[in-house]
Amino acid sequence: MMAYFARDEVAPQEDSCDAELALHAHLSAEPFAAVSEEELDAIKDRDVVHNYRAVLAFRDFLAQYATLESAYLAVVRGAPVNFPPLFLEQMTQIILRSILDGETDTMKLRAAECLFRYQTVTLDDGRIMVADHATVQLQAGMARMLQRARRPTRSASTSSPLRRRMNTGRAPTCSTPRSILPIPSRRWTGCAA
């Protein structure tokens, strides 16, 4: 759990208030310590509060089970989940990493990745091709940047403000902007946000 409290979405930033700093220090020392609504309400940045609620919901779910594997099995068997899908994907990754520790067969490792990473499937001359979606998006983004760099610009570029959200869900029915690539963000989101 300590790794989650080190993530940018909840780790203190330069503009963090005293309440946020205190809560982070408390949870870094005791990841399973009780957190009151008052402690969360005292934090000024509502995105950080949203993120803490997501991490704490995941933490509280895990605390109900003896092992990560038994928590995962509970989800598979239909236990109610009140945390973003990102955490379930990370549980899958951790469990597979443990199972495949020491494995050197790249095909087995790649097959395992298909269970927790988004995949892009395409047909090319009758062949089915599966690629890691983040890698495809990264390469496509780089290609777009190269094309733009070759074109003459008509006006000064403008930049949009930093988004405060991080992609955690797969459902395209949500109006929340989505990106697979890491973005400067401190907020985990899902359709219920």
Residue with more model confidence, 155 or 122 = 122
pLDDT at 100 over 60: yes
Judge whether 149 lies within some domain.
no
Strand-pairing partners, residue 122, are 129
Predicted pLDDT at 154: 56
Q: Which domain holds residue 95?
A: 2-102
Judge whether 59 lies within some domain.
yes
Judge whether 93 lies within some domain.
yes
Q: What is the mean pLDDT of the chain?
A: 79
Element (H, E) at 127: strand 127-132
Judge whether 169 lies within some domain.
no
Tell me: the pLDDT tens digits for 113-148? 877 777 888 888 888 888 877 777 888 888 888 888
Element (H, E) at 26: helix 18-29
pLDDT at 18 over 90: yes
Question: In whole angstroms, what is the distance from residue 36 CA to residue 19 CA?
Answer: 12
Judge whether 117 lies within some domain.
no
Judge whether 140 lies within some domain.
no
Please count the structural domains in the chain: 1
Judge whether 6 lies within some domain.
yes
Instruction: Work out the number of other CB atoms within 10 angstroms of the CB of residue 38.
Output: 8
Q: How confident is the model at residue 89 (pLDDT cuts 50, 70, 90)?
A: confident
Tell me: the pLDDT tens digits for 141-154? 888 888 887 876 55
Judge whether 133 lies within some domain.
no
Q: Residues 6 or more apart from 110 whose CB is under 8 A from it?
A: none
